[in-house]
Amino acid sequence: MPDHPDYSGMAALSICEALLLALNDHHLLPEPEILGILRDAAAAHENAVAPDAEREAHLAVAELINRIIAGGNSVRRP
Protein backbone atom coordinates (compact mmCIF):
# COMPACT_ATOMS: atom_id res chain seq x y z
CA MET A 1 0.00 0.00 0.00
CA PRO A 2 1.44 3.38 -0.93
CA ASP A 3 2.14 5.78 1.92
CA HIS A 4 -0.41 8.49 1.24
CA PRO A 5 -1.30 11.08 3.93
CA ASP A 6 -5.00 11.05 3.01
CA TYR A 7 -5.25 7.34 3.78
CA SER A 8 -4.23 7.91 7.39
CA GLY A 9 -6.77 10.70 7.78
CA MET A 10 -9.54 8.66 6.20
CA ALA A 11 -8.76 5.70 8.45
CA ALA A 12 -8.69 7.91 11.55
CA LEU A 13 -12.03 9.51 10.63
CA SER A 14 -13.65 6.11 10.05
CA ILE A 15 -12.35 4.74 13.34
CA CYS A 16 -13.50 7.80 15.30
CA GLU A 17 -16.93 7.72 13.70
CA ALA A 18 -17.28 4.02 14.53
CA LEU A 19 -16.24 4.67 18.14
CA LEU A 20 -18.76 7.50 18.53
CA LEU A 21 -21.50 5.32 17.07
CA ALA A 22 -20.59 2.45 19.40
CA LEU A 23 -20.55 4.75 22.44
CA ASN A 24 -24.02 5.95 21.53
CA ASP A 25 -25.36 2.49 20.63
CA HIS A 26 -24.24 1.10 24.01
CA HIS A 27 -25.69 4.09 25.86
CA LEU A 28 -22.29 5.16 27.17
CA LEU A 29 -22.61 8.66 25.72
CA PRO A 30 -25.87 10.32 24.77
CA GLU A 31 -26.29 12.09 21.44
CA PRO A 32 -25.88 15.60 22.92
CA GLU A 33 -22.50 14.63 24.40
CA ILE A 34 -21.30 13.20 21.10
CA LEU A 35 -22.38 16.34 19.27
CA GLY A 36 -20.60 18.38 21.94
CA ILE A 37 -17.38 16.47 21.31
CA LEU A 38 -17.65 17.18 17.61
CA ARG A 39 -18.47 20.87 18.18
CA ASP A 40 -15.48 21.19 20.53
CA ALA A 41 -13.23 19.61 17.91
CA ALA A 42 -14.51 21.98 15.22
CA ALA A 43 -14.10 24.99 17.52
CA ALA A 44 -10.52 24.00 18.34
CA HIS A 45 -9.67 24.13 14.65
CA GLU A 46 -11.68 27.29 14.00
CA ASN A 47 -9.81 29.06 16.79
CA ALA A 48 -6.37 27.63 16.09
CA VAL A 49 -3.56 30.15 16.06
CA ALA A 50 -1.35 29.18 13.15
CA PRO A 51 0.53 30.64 10.18
CA ASP A 52 -1.67 31.37 7.16
CA ALA A 53 -0.79 28.14 5.34
CA GLU A 54 -1.72 26.03 8.38
CA ARG A 55 -4.75 28.20 9.18
CA GLU A 56 -6.35 27.21 5.89
CA ALA A 57 -5.99 23.53 6.79
CA HIS A 58 -7.50 24.11 10.25
CA LEU A 59 -10.50 25.88 8.73
CA ALA A 60 -10.98 23.05 6.22
CA VAL A 61 -10.94 20.51 9.05
CA ALA A 62 -13.47 22.57 11.04
CA GLU A 63 -15.71 22.76 7.97
CA LEU A 64 -15.54 18.99 7.51
CA ILE A 65 -16.45 18.36 11.16
CA ASN A 66 -19.37 20.80 10.89
CA ARG A 67 -20.59 18.98 7.76
CA ILE A 68 -20.45 15.69 9.67
CA ILE A 69 -22.57 17.25 12.43
CA ALA A 70 -25.07 18.68 9.94
CA GLY A 71 -25.29 15.39 8.04
CA GLY A 72 -26.09 13.39 11.17
CA ASN A 73 -23.30 10.87 10.50
CA SER A 74 -22.11 10.91 14.09
CA VAL A 75 -25.18 9.24 15.61
CA ARG A 76 -27.64 6.67 14.39
CA ARG A 77 -31.08 8.12 14.01
CA PRO A 78 -34.19 5.98 13.52
Q: Give the pLDDT of the chain (78 residues) as one tens digit per residue.
A: 456 668 888 899 889 999 999 999 999 999 999 999 999 999 999 999 989 889 999 999 999 999 988 987 666 655
Determine the pLDDT at residue 63: 95
Whether 67 maps to a domain, the answer reads: yes
Domain count, the chain: 1
In a domain, 24, yes or no: yes
Q: State how far the Cα of 16 lies from the Cα of 26, in Å rounded to an integer.
A: 15
Residue 26 lies in a domain: yes
Q: Is there a domain that residue 76 lies in?
A: no
Q: 2 exposed, middle or buried (CB, 10 Å; 0-12, 13-18, 19+)?
A: exposed
Its domain, for residue 45, covers 5-71
